[in-house]
């Protein structure tokens, strides 16, 4: 069995029209990925653990219950008696593209590394096969904690843990472009699997196309680079060899909120079973293609239930 640990923040989600019909659920980039990996993987093959902090309120209790029902191990979700989960609001346009409003400055996850029980998690993570995090996982932390997490990732890497990273750049979470760039440059030499979105890379680095992104990331000797290109597909670069994997068009895009996160989930579900990277990307495209036809970051389990058997054929 492979052990995957995902570090990040899950928030309460409000989805709908302001002053109209609003749906309350939850979501967060790393939690979205954790959920979909757990849903499409056999629990005998991949153990999915989430690493975060929540409060002790009813909403936090409900979120953890839902995660457990999806097959996520929550023993490394620490409970903060002084803080609770952050909140975000999604607004959609007619094309399914979204804008966000956030209330997260005092969320429990922001202070994960300062929790008195965090040293236990720190020790346990040396024994997993892969740690996955995103640019948001880093951005939400106080600067000193961010630096500390980078040091801890170096130690986990020395222990043989693979590091997977989705750059997922959100400008409003950083003090400046330069601060984000410096942080990413410190992390990228540790990364084994880079799962980046071209639009984010262009925004952060000014890349003009996916080849510019691949060339820049290759400087860090990242073994496996996957550049997501939205509805077009994804480009793989492994040991200098590139392959483009196109998507299968969907009839109607309803909500792109978790497109990249679900792609990552399908990819990682294949990667941790040692499937070829092309197959991993095809799984990512297939899963994301289903998710974007529904509202919300985490859709009904029934919509993806058939993928577990499909992705785990022997």
Angle at 190 between CA 186 and CA 193, to 5 degrees: 120
Q: Which long-range contacts (CB under 8 A, 24 or more apart) does 281-285 make?
A: 281/226, 281/233, 281/234, 281/236, 281/245, 282/245, 283/40, 283/307, 283/311, 284/234, 285/233, 285/234, 285/245, 285/246, 285/247, 285/248
Angle at 180 between CA 86 and CA 121, to 5 degrees: 55
Residue 226 structure tokens: 């996957």
Q: Could you tell me which residues come within 8 angstroms of residue 89 by beta carbon, excluding any fewer than 6 positions away?
A: 13, 14, 15, 18, 100, 101, 102
Secondary structure percentages of the chain, helix, strand, coil, to 5: 45, 25, 30
261 is catalytic: yes
Find the distance separating the first CA and the last CA of the chain, reported in whole Å: 15
Q: Could you tell me which residues come within 8 angstroms of residue 289 by beta carbon, excluding any fewer than 6 positions away?
A: 247, 248, 250
Distance CA 289, CA 249 (A): 8
Q: Using only C-alpha atoms, what is the Rg of the chain?
A: 18
Question: Phi/psi zone of residue 268: left (φ > 0), alpha (ψ -120 to 50 degrees), beta?
Answer: alpha
Residue 26 structure tokens: 């939850």
Catalytic residues: 261
């Amino acid at each position: 069995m492979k052990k995957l640990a995902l570090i990040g923040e899950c928030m309460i989600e409000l989805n709908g029209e302001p002053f109209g019909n609003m749906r309350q659920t939850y979501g967060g980039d790393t939690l979205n990925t954790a959920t979909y990996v757990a849903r499409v993987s056999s629990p005998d093959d991949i153990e999915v653990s989430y690493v975060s902090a929540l409060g002790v309120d009813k909403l936090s209790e409900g979120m953890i219950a839902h995660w457990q029902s999806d097959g996520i191990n929550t023993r490394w979700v620490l409970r903060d008696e002084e803080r609770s989960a952050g909140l975000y609001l999604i607004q959609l346009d007619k094309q399914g593209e979204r804008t966000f409003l956030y209330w997260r400055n005092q969320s429990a996850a922001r202070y994960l590394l300062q929790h008195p029980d965090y040293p236990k998690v720190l020790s346990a993570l040396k024994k997993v096969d892969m740690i996955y995090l995103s640019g948001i996982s880093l951005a939400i932390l106080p600067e000193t904690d961010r630096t500390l997490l980078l040091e801890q990732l170096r130690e986990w890497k020395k222990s043989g843990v693979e590091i997977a990273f989705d750059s997922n750049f959100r400008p409003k979470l950083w003090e400046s472009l330069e601060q984000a760039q410096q942080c990413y440059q410190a992390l990228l030499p540790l990364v084994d699997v880079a799962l980046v979105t071209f639009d984010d890379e262009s925004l952060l680095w000014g890349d003009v196309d996916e080849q510019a992104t691949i060339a820049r990331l290759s400087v860090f000797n990242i073994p496996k680079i996957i550049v997501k290109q939205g509805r077009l597909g994804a480009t793989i670069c492994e040991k200098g060899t590139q392959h483009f994997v196109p998507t299968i068009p969907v009839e109607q895009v309803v909500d792109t909120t978790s497109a990249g996160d679900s792609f990552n989930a399908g990819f990682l579900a294949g990667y941790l079973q040692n499937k070829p990277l092309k197959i991993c990307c095809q799984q990512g495209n297939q899963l994301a293609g289903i998710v974007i036809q529904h509202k919300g970051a985490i859709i009904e389990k029934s919509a993806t239930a058939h993928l577990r058997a499909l992705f785990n054929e022997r």
